[in-house]
Amino acid sequence: MKTGIFGGTFNPVHCGHVRLARHYMEGARLDRLLVIPTRTPPHKKAVDLVSGAQRMEMCRLAFEQLPGCQVSGLEMERPEKSYTVDTLEALHMQYPEDSLCLLMGSDMFLTMTHWKDWQRIFQLASLCVGARETDLDGRLEAEKIRLEQLGASCEVIPLEPMALSSTEIRRRIEAGQSVSGFVPEKVEAYILKYGLYQKKSSDLTAKGSR
């Protein structure tokens, strides 16, 4: 069974993520897609990061209608920073018969040899890079050849540009603007129900006192 690993902060998950997951499922011919929200990404600062439980639930709501897609809490169970190699080691133990496929964007693909234990990553999973038309240049192809010479198995999947970003969605919510159509309906309802990403009352008070 070919299992794709789709990791991310998902803060929050949005419609672009769902479309991306569908493209990966079809383009890489995956039998199963594991969506894995990260606990504390080693390469990012935890700015406006809601709880792991909340991001997990939003992912469940977003991907529940996508056949073959499962949301995993594997990285949420770790108390410390989460590294890809650790996740792949755990998945290799959990699914020993599966062929693991690590999904990523072109920016991540171009920095692979800076990752922790990247040689081991190449042993545990193939690399599937989703590339926009603007990414399909000589640099990406040259890096693919270089990584394959280092032992990686690489596949490039053409993707449509994703205009959405979680940062922009958080900004819209903080500004009191609608995110309808940007996030799945159930995710929007969850965000509104729990008041996620809204400006804290203390911030509003501070602004009002100036």
- 35-72: pLDDT as tens digits: 999 986 655 555 678 999 999 999 999 999 999 999 99
Please name which of 175, 172, 30, 194 lies closest in space to residue 99, comparing C-alpha atoms.
Answer: 30
Kindly provide the b/e burial profile for residues 190-201, where b requires at least 16 CB atoms within 10 angstroms of the residue's own CB: bbeeeebbbeee
CATH of domain 2-161: 3.40.50.620
CA gap 26, 128 in Å, rounded: 12
pTM of the model: 0.89
Close Cβ partners of 113 (under 8 Å, ≥ 6 residues apart): 147, 150
User: Which parts of the chain are beta strand (E)?
Assistant: 2-8, 32-37, 69-71, 99-105, 126-131, 154-158
Residue 74 to residues 34, 53, 117, Cα–Cα distance (Å): 10, 12, 19
- DSSP reduced 3-state for 105: strand
pLDDT tens sequence across 125-183: 999 999 876 666 788 889 999 999 999 999 999 888 777 899 999 999 999 999 999 99
